[in-house]
Structure 1
Amino acid sequence: MTETLYPVDYPGEAMTTTMPAVTAPVRPRGVRRVLYESGYALSAFPIALVGFLVVVIDLALGMALAVFIGGVLLISVGVMVARGFARFERIRLQGMLGRPAATPSYLCPRPGDGFWRRSLTPLRDAQSWLDVVWALVGLLTGTLAFAIALAWWAGAAGGLTYWFWQRWIPESDGDHGLAYYLGLGDGRTAESWLNLALGALLLLTLPWAVRLVVTIHASLAWVLLSSRADLQSEVARVEGGREAARIAEAESLRRLERDIHDGPQQRLVRLTMDLGRAKRQVADDPTRAAATLDDALAQARETVAELRSLSRGIAPPLLVDRGLAAALEEMLAQSSVPVRSRIDVPAQLPPHVETAVYFVVAEAMTNVAKHSQASSAEVTVVSHGAEVEVRVEDDGIGGAHPAKGLGLAGLRQRLAAVDGTLEVTSLEGAGTAVVARIPG
């Protein structure tokens, strides 16, 4: 029996094919960053110590009692406790350091599973055991972060204020301070200047010292607690793109079949009937036969033109023969709406990118002609580094939205198949802007 991945926060709902969008946290700057990082480092040790003790004691008791039923349940409870500390650490990473720390999807029981299956499911989840590892090894880096941060803050504060509180330090004959042994002189004044210099040095180096130990602790936390989330997101994205490609292909085939049935097929049937009638009229009424043949010839020309239009929607020959720019220019030249265009793309692009760009422009211009009531349109296709941006704007009535159909939903699916994105801005009465970005 297979298990289902569920989001950790909602164990009763199946995980969708696309991971939820994660809002990037805001990283503090300047003095706030130093204070937040110091707070993170100073709190790392007590939190890690509590997590270490609770998880280790729970797992140790569970293993000692493993021969009994309660022992296995204790191990499962220990794993769930480690999950809780892992979640708290992700919150600290985002809230105190401004680092992205996505929560991976945990293996959860399906609705309807029995008590034992639900209780033992955490033991079969890889991320749960990574959380346990974090509860154990996080104490090491947490202790290091705590010790360095405390030493630097204490040294800086003590050195800078030594001149004030040294008066309460008992002084006896024969006692010498660090300044005396460094050859800087003897007495409270020399000692105050030395401590002031050391305090200033520690204060100046404090941001880098704290940032070093925080980076070590936080990097280990991210690797163990959040790195699998990126992998799961990538897998979901690939699966979503593959599914979108299948849906887009199926939609294209259905549309082509419908267009052929409604257009060329009907014309060919009529052409066959006209030719048959002309054949019967040749002997008895050559004049009417000639008129019928003229009609048949017109039907044949219209059929050829419609088939050419349909083939242009499948794989335009000009796109293969002369490239994307030429194919777009020819398509825009046949537009029923006046178009201003700017096409600036490399001569050689991957075939799937060229096809996607072409279909974006074709679908957008079809919508402009059929639905926008626009008097003009503007098409911009430019290459920005590793991606191609397509922008189609019109001055029509607006109101377009992928949920309304108009081909935009299918276009979004087609772009998802090539890792592209689609943005539609269309206010009522303010025209429509369709922007697609396709990795090149």
Structure 2
Amino acid sequence: MRDIVRLLRVGLDGLVGLVVLLGGPARVRARADAARARFTPPLPAGGAWWRDAAWLATPLGSLLTVFWLDLFAAGLMGLAMPLLWALEDDGRLWYQWVIVDDFALAVFAMPVGALMIWIALLLVRPFLRVERWRTRRLLAPTLADRVEWLTATRSAALDASASELRRIERDLHDGAQAQLVAVSMQLGMAEDMLDRDPAAARDLLLEARSGANTAMAELRALVRGIHPPLLAERGLGGALEALALRSAVPVTCSVSLTRRLPAPIESALYFSAVELLTNAIRHSGAARVSIEVAERDGRVVLRVRDDGRGGAVMGAGSGLSGLASRLAPFDGVLRVSSPAGGPTVVVAEVPCASS
């Protein structure tokens, strides 16, 4: 039944696509991107607009769906032929180019109709495979598109790495380094005053000890920002559960993973969840957030949903665009659904392999 619904949706999408084709390149690309997102795994965006337009202009799926509906409807009519013949005033009906003018022919149409329904049910999956093949051939990126995509994601990864290094350097310079310099100066002053004023030297040593503890706390916070120890010890599930417990709003966390993921993927998904949770609390006014992680068809799917005011968009310079750039080096994709008034649902999908 699910495959039949998919086939009917393919037919409807093909008819709608012909209308979208008149809306210009932007609408064509948006329609094609939505089709790419339905693949498992989702297809990266291609570079040639004419391929998207060709996909919309050749509604093979609609033609296959119309043929299937005609076959299925003919089968139903065959099963009901004795009743239809009895209700006809003159006892004559057309059925598949045959005139049914007696009850024997009407009864014979029943097994023919059953055979047509059986054939129609057998054709559902082949028709879906044909449409899937056509869509992949026209919408999947070419080698040149793939090279361009990899070049862009590599550049984004290098920029992100350089930015992270500058952040770490700045945090060390303004935090722990300044504290350690103060500790060093206090120890030097205490050394000079040790013989002349032991009480003052003792006070300086206590201040130095307090400064050292502060520097250690800042270093621990910096390390947690780079790679949380809990993430390394308990994996993505444990780290997200701890994140949910520390949240200022109620957060439900569901993690369905049967294995550890590679450390870079765990880190990318964890910090994506952290940023999405922060956005939900700070910008959308959410009162409840849910975080779900599951593995499907060789991909890890992170889904964050909040009941806030909605209106989140993937725009240039936005936090969501930054998340998409963070996932891009892993061939990850980010999808956002955030109508006005909410809810906001953000889905991140990343290919994964055993660690």
Calculate the TM-score normalised by the size of structure 1.
Answer: 0.46
Q: CA deviation at 1:302?
A: 1.3
Aligned-residue RMSD, C-alpha: 5.1
Question: C-alpha distance in 1, partners of 2:251/2:322?
Answer: 25
Q: What are the within-5 Å matches in structure 2 for residues 159-174 of structure 1?
A: 159-160=98-99
Q: Which amino acid aligns with 2:219?
A: L
Q: Deviations over 1:153-178 (max 9, x none)?
A: xx9554127x6xxxxxxxxxxxxxxx
Is 1:435 matched up with 2:341? no
**Structure 1, unpaired ranges of 5+:** 1-8, 25-82, 100-154, 164-191
| Closer, same or farther: CA 347–273 of 1 in aligned 2, 3 Å | farther
Q: Which residue of 2 aligns with 1:271?
A: 183
Judge conservation of contact 1:156–1:203 (CA < 8 Å) in 2.
Answer: no
Question: C-alpha distance in 2, partners of 1:195/1:336?
Answer: 73
Judge conservation of contact 1:337–1:375 (CA < 8 Å) in 2.
Answer: no
Q: Which residue of 2 aligns with 1:345?
A: 256
| Closer, same or farther: CA 267–325 of 1 in aligned 2, 3 Å | same
Q: What are the within-5 Å matches in structure 2 for residues 262-411 of structure 1?
A: 262-331=174-243, 335=246, 337=248, 339-346=250-257, 348-351=259-262, 352-366=264-278, 371=282, 378=289, 380-383=291-294, 385-386=296-297, 387-391=300-304, 393=306, 403=315, 407-411=319-323
Q: Deviations over 1:33-90 (max 9, x none)?
A: xxxxxxxxxxxxxxxxxxxxxxxxxxxxxxxxxxxxxxxxxxxxxxxxxx99x94995
Q: Which amino acid aligns with 1:350?
A: L
Q: Which residue of 2 aligns with 1:423?
A: 336
| Closer, same or farther: CA 437–222 of 1 in aligned 2, 3 Å | closer
Question: C-alpha distance in 1, partners of 2:168/2:113?
Answer: 72
Q: Which amino acid aligns with 1:282?
A: L
- Percent of residue pairs identical: 28
| Closer, same or farther: CA 258–338 of 1 in aligned 2, 3 Å | same
Q: CA deviation at 1:95?
A: 4.8
Judge conservation of contact 1:342–1:379 (CA < 8 Å) in 2.
Answer: yes
Is 1:91 matched up with 2:3? no
Q: CA deviation at 1:362?
A: 3.0
Question: C-alpha distance in 2, partners of 1:288/1:368?
Answer: 51
Q: CA deviation at 1:311?
A: 0.9
Q: What are the within-5 Å matches in structure 2 for residues 4-403 of structure 1?
A: 21-23=33-35, 87=54, 90-97=57-64, 156-160=95-99, 227-232=136-141, 236=146, 239=150, 242=154, 244-331=156-243, 335=246, 337=248, 339-346=250-257, 348-351=259-262, 352-366=264-278, 371=282, 378=289, 380-383=291-294, 385-386=296-297, 387-391=300-304, 393=306, 403=315
Judge conservation of contact 1:19–1:233 (CA < 8 Å) in 2.
Answer: no
Q: CA deviation at 1:306?
A: 1.3
Partner secondary structure for residue 322 of structure 1: helix
Match of 1:412 among 299, 302, 324: 324
Judge conservation of contact 1:160–1:200 (CA < 8 Å) in 2.
Answer: no
| Closer, same or farther: CA 226–394 of 1 in aligned 2, 3 Å | closer
Q: Deviations over 1:356-391 (max 9, x none)?
A: 33212333455577x459797645344364544343
Q: CA deviation at 1:405?
A: 6.0
Partner secondary structure for residue 160 of structure 1: strand
Partner secondary structure for residue 263 of structure 1: helix
Question: C-alpha distance in 2, partners of 1:94/1:246?
Answer: 42
Question: C-alpha distance in 2, partners of 1:213/1:324?
Answer: 43
Partner secondary structure for residue 192 of structure 2: helix
Q: Deviations over 1:225-245 (max 9, x none)?
A: 754334417964963655554
| Closer, same or farther: CA 218–298 of 1 in aligned 2, 3 Å | closer
| Closer, same or farther: CA 257–374 of 1 in aligned 2, 3 Å | farther
Q: CA deviation at 1:296?
A: 1.9
